[in-house]
């Protein structure tokens, strides 16, 4: 801690986004503390692949590269996807993205959540510039003109010029400072599992829109695919009750047997789907990032990437202000971060929401328009390149 008895920044939450921000700021010379209720579950190569995986965009792998963690993640277990194929069950028209068309080796990487979290956690533990408090929870907070103070569940308190909440979708700290959210419950659950298929996944991320549902197959390094099957709540309950053979048969049919017969599946789990957007990202000496600020529909796989872009943008704003000898935690400084990221995140959240509503419809005329739209985008090079660049974080 600095001689003032106060940290520069305290990050609450050491998931992917919070840990990435803490490491980025520490390497820029900030005095950083991190508060986390529990250490992440260990990752071991001999364990079954984590059911929760993320599709990392180039912007995210670039950040991890700058933080010196990407090489170890790739060396452990990760799978590049080079193509993406999207189609509609009710209408002709398909959309393809290929890394080769952009002169790149990959569109992104599929990586286990637990592997990323453990790698970042080890970096936090090994960085002498970061004060790591775990296990610890924040029970209260207040701010004055110079600092924000956090009271921990063991009675200790920490002060910082800036506190950043990266404590997830159910952020307790967001509630403590009085920031409300706009929510939409999709009344759907995303079923996740890893499956083996008759044909190889071709290093391709596949997505099919069905009436009231979407299904994605994401390539894994061991040749299997990670599936995310988003269906209404009652249908999710039914699918989870099926035995493996029945589940594989229904999954194969829903996926139009694009990779042939589903030959095996792991155990399955499901999580609820919703959209949640914070009405503001700031309070005195305080900022929100990641899922604490925004939760989006998973159909485009952009949730983690949006959060990591929050971390990058906030770090840039803070470093620029400090180097210009301005108060990096002043509201005028933090507004720069909020203006850029809140508009980008809100646009993404509502765009994904509109796509979900449009492709969930069973109306035949609308289905025809969907198919035509996919085909049109696939033919219009500049529009297709724009969408690919947005997904890559550029």
Q: How confident is the model at residue 210 (pLDDT cuts 50, 70, 90)?
A: confident
Q: In the predicted model, what is the mean pLDDT of residues 357-385?
A: 51
CATH number for the domain that contains residue 214: 3.30.9.10
**Domain presence at residue 131:** yes
Same domain, 123 and 167: yes
User: Is the pLDDT at 70 greater than 90, yes or no?
Assistant: yes
pTM, two decimals, is 0.91
Pairing of strands 286-288, 157-165: parallel
Of 35, 37, 38, give the one whose Cα is nearest residue 157.
35
Same domain, 118 and 142: yes
**Domain presence at residue 74:** no
Assigned token pair, 393: 């974080």
Same domain, 226 and 290: no
Q: How confident is the model at residue 343 (pLDDT cuts 50, 70, 90)?
A: confident
What is the total count of domains within the chain? Answer: 2
Same domain, 28 and 119: yes
* Alpha carbon distance 321, 328 (integer Å): 5
Per-residue pLDDT tens digits for 16-37: 999 999 999 999 999 999 999 9
Same domain, 211 and 258: yes
* Alpha carbon distance 164, 123 (integer Å): 19
Return the pLDDT at 302: 72
Q: Taking a C-beta distance cutoff of 8 angstroms, is the pair 371, 90 a contact?
A: yes
User: Is the pLDDT at 79 greater than 90, yes or no?
Assistant: yes
Same domain, 85 and 204: yes
Per-residue pLDDT tens digits for 153-182: 999 999 999 999 999 999 999 999 999 999
Q: Which residue has the tokens 């393809």?
A: 96
Residue 119's Cβ-count burial label (10 Å; 0-12, 13-18, 19+) is buried
* Alpha carbon distance 79, 115 (integer Å): 13
Q: What's the chain's Rg over C-alpha atoms?
A: 22
Q: In the predicted model, what is the mean pLDDT of residues 90-110?
A: 84
More confident position, 268 or 93: 268
Strands (DSSP E) contained in the chain are: 7-12, 32-35, 53-56, 79-81, 83-88, 94-98, 108-112, 130-133, 138-143, 148-152, 157-165, 181-197, 204-210, 213-219, 225-232, 262-265, 269-278, 282-283, 286-288, 294-295
Under DSSP, is residue 255 helix (H, G, I), strand (E, B) or coil? coil
User: Is the pLDDT at 374 greater than 60, yes or no?
Assistant: no
* Alpha carbon distance 264, 247 (integer Å): 9
Return the pLDDT at 393: 46
Q: In the predicted model, what is the mean pLDDT of residues 71-77?
A: 97
Number of H helices, E strands in the chain: 11, 20
User: Is the pLDDT at 384 greater than 70, yes or no?
Assistant: no
DSSP 8-class letter at 258: B
Give, in degrees to the nearest 5, the angle at Cα 325 between 159 and 314: 60
Q: Enumerate the β-bridge partners of residue 56.
A: 109
Q: DSSP string spanning 266-295?
A: ---EEEEEEEEEES-SEETTEEE-GGGTEE
Q: Which residue has the tokens 């229904």?
A: 250
Q: What percent of the chain has pLDDT over 90?
A: 75
Pairing of strands 181-197, 157-165: unpaired
**Domain presence at residue 71:** no
Q: How confident is the model at residue 382 (pLDDT cuts 50, 70, 90)?
A: very low
Same domain, 352 and 377: no
Give the structural domain span for 318: 7-66+114-182+275-356
Give the chain's mean pLDDT: 89
Give, in degrees to the nearest 5, the angle at Cα 25 between 178 and 171: 25
Same domain, 280 and 341: yes
| Half-sphere exposure of residue 322: CA atoms within 13 angstroms, side-chain side | 16
Return the pLDDT at 355: 64
Pairing of strands 181-197, 225-232: antiparallel
Of 110, 130, 138, 132, give the one whose Cα is nearest residue 52.
110
Residue 155's Cβ-count burial label (10 Å; 0-12, 13-18, 19+) is exposed
Same domain, 323 and 386: no
């Amino acid at each position: 801690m600095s001689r003032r008895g106060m940290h520069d920044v305290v990050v609450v939450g050491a998931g992917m986004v919070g840990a990435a921000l803490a490491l980025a700021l520490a390497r820029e010379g900030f005095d950083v503390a991190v508060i986390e209720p529990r250490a992440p579950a260990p990752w071991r190569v001999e364990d079954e692949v984590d059911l929760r995986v993320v599709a990392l965009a180039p912007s995210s792998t670039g950040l991890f590269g700058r933080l010196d963690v990407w090489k170890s993640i790739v060396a452990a277990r990760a799978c590049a996807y080079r193509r993406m194929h999207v189609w509609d069950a009710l209408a002709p028209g398909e959309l393809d993205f290929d890394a080769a068309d952009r002169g790149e080796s990959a569109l992104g990487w599929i990586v286990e959540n637990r592997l990323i979290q453990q790698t970042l956690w080890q970096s936090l533990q090994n960085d002498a510039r970061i004060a790591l408090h775990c296990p610890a929870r924040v029970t209260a907070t207040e701010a004055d003109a110079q600092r924000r103070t956090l009271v921990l569940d063991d009675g200790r308190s920490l002060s910082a010029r800036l506190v950043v909440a990266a404590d997830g979708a159910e952020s307790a700290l967001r509630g403590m400072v009085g920031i409300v959210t706009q929510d939409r419950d999709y009344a759907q659950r995303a079923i996740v599992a890893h499956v083996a298929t008759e044909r190889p996944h071709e290093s391709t991320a596949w997505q099919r829109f069905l009436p009231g549902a979407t299904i994605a197959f994401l390539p894994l390094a061991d040749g299997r695919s990670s599936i995310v099957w988003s269906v209404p709540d009652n249908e999710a309950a039914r699918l989870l009750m099926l035995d493996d053979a029945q589940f594989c048969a229904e999954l194969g049919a829903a996926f139009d047997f694009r990779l042939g017969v589903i030959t095996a599946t792991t155990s399955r789990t499901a999580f609820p789907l919703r959209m949640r957007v914070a009405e503001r990202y700031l309070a005195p000496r305080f900022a929100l990032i990641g899922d604490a600020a925004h939760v989006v529909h998973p159909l485009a796989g952009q949730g983690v990437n949006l959060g990591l872009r929050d971390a990058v943008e906030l770090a840039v704003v803070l470093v620029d202000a400090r180097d210009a000898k301005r108060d990096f935690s002043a509201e005028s400084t933090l507004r720069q971060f909020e203006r850029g990221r809140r508009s980008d995140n809100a646009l993404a959240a509502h765009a994904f929401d509109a796509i979900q509503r449009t492709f969930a419809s069973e109306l035949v005329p609308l289905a025809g328009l969907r198919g035509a739209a996919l085909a049109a985008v696939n033919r219009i090079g500049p529009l297709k390149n724009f969408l690919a660049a947005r997904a890559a974080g550029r």
